Structure 1
Amino acid sequence: MASYKRILVGLDLSEESSQVLEKAGELGKAFDADLSLVHVIEPLTFAYGGDIPMDLSEVQEQLQTQAKEQLRKAADQLNVPAERQHVVLGQPATEIHRLAEEQEADLIVIGSHGRHGLALLLGSTANGVLHGAGCDVLAVRVNVESK
């Protein structure tokens, strides 16, 4: 079995993130590995294609501030220090790959909703991360009903 020393945990900060965090914490303890957390925010201009006639920078800053606070709370559960908590702007799979390489992660842990059919074909963050990662990827099947 592989031994992991640096684990990057991608969180979407939804209620189901606690399940991903729990699994990552177990792995971190089992392997005595350093955990890093990342949440990627897609720039609002990506989502709206620049078609909105207003400056979205203030809204974007508020989203980043809220995400940093939520990530800090998640990190506190596993004693992940501030220097290993990352809120970044960009396309999620791309940014997770970049950070994993930068941190020399040997495992990426992400949540997966287990979509089927058309939703799976259109792609998900988990699928995007899996198909471009330079290290192992663990997709934690999250159960939407559990809390």
Structure 2
Amino acid sequence: MRRLILCAIVVFASTVLFGQQRNPQLEELRAKKIAFIKQRVNMTDDEEKAFWPLYNELEQKRWEISKQRDQWRLTKKDGNTDFAKLNDLYIYSEVTRAKLARTYHEQFKKILPPEKLFRYYIAERDFKEKVLEEIKRKANEAKHK
């Protein structure tokens, strides 16, 4: 359960990065993520020109899905929560994210060779893990102060 909560925090943090573009800290984290991916994947200039606009589009759509899914936060406070509706909303958002991943995977395959595309997916995962570790480290530091 604890691991699930931490994973949810990482997913939320990574999607928030792309929706709250006015926040300097989030912009800095977004820049670090892009630099991390660039370093790991090592794309050519032509690959980057085709990849990054598509990547940014994907991140924006992920953010929109997350905003819709997070409506539960608003509804659970009023005391009249329709859990059946929230469950459906949650599953719908997960299915939508999966379809989105599949669609963009097909487009990314046209831009990057298989090895680089694999490195991109691993870099995405590794960056999320890195952010999670940073969150845990800061939480531990705050706890011990």
TM-score by length of 2: 0.29
Q: Greater strand percent: which structure?
A: 1
Larger Rg: 2
Q: Which structure exhibits the higher relative contact order, with contacts defined as CA atoms closer than 8 Å and separated by 6 or more residues?
A: 2
Q: Greater helix percent: which structure?
A: 2
